[in-house]
């Protein structure tokens, strides 16, 4: 792999890491502000439910981007056994979080049919 391509992929992975972290932080701030605003209008109970769902979505999106950055970095920039192990652990964590957050947000596991 040429040095330019290697550096470009490294920069891409770093940019995705920054974007993923930014989404997590910005999403937390926006969801918190919306929750506060909505709690003043409708009360705390509906606001907290929407807040939990919003935070769940933000975490899932942020983790997707961070996993993409890790895949790029592991496969192209730092292809070591340790890197592959970290990638595998991140994918397991992301999958577990996705399933549990889906259960939390929708009240069912991803493989179950929606309630009618």
Q: What is the DSSP string of 50-77?
A: HHHHHHHHHHHHHHHHHHHHHHHIIIII
Has residue 115 been placed in a domain?
A: no
Has residue 71 been placed in a domain?
A: yes
Compute the average pLDDT of residues 71-85.
81
**Helices 81-106 and 44-72, packing angle to 10 deg:** 160
Has residue 113 been placed in a domain?
A: no
Q: Which domain holds residue 58?
A: 3-106
Report the C-alpha gap between 17 and 63 in whole angstroms. 10
Report the C-alpha gap between 18 and 22 in whole angstroms. 6
Has residue 8 been placed in a domain?
A: yes
Report the C-alpha gap between 93 and 95 in whole angstroms. 5
43 — pLDDT class (breaks 50, 70, 90): confident
Domain count, the chain: 1
Note the pTM of the prediction, 2 decimals.
0.76
Predicted local confidence at residue 20, as pLDDT: 93
Has residue 112 been placed in a domain?
A: no
Helix %, strand %, coil % for the chain, to 5? 85, 0, 15
Torsions phi, psi for 43 (to 5 deg) = 105, 165
Has residue 45 been placed in a domain?
A: yes
Has residue 116 been placed in a domain?
A: no
């Amino acid at each position: 792999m040429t040095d330019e391509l290697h550096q470009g992929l490294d920069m891409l992975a770093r940019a995705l890491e920054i974007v993923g972290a930014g989404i997590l932080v910005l999403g937390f701030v926006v969801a918190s502000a919306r929750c506060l605003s909505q709690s003043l209008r409708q009360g705390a109970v509906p606001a907290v439910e929407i807040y939990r769902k919003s935070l769940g979505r933000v975490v899932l999106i942020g983790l997707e981007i961070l996993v993409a950055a890790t895949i790029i970095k592991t496969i192209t920039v730092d292809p070591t056994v340790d890197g592959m192990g970290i990638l595998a652990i991140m994918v397991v964590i992301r999958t577990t979080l996705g399933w549990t957050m889906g259960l939390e947000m929708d009240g069912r596991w991803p493989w179950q049919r929606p309630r009618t």
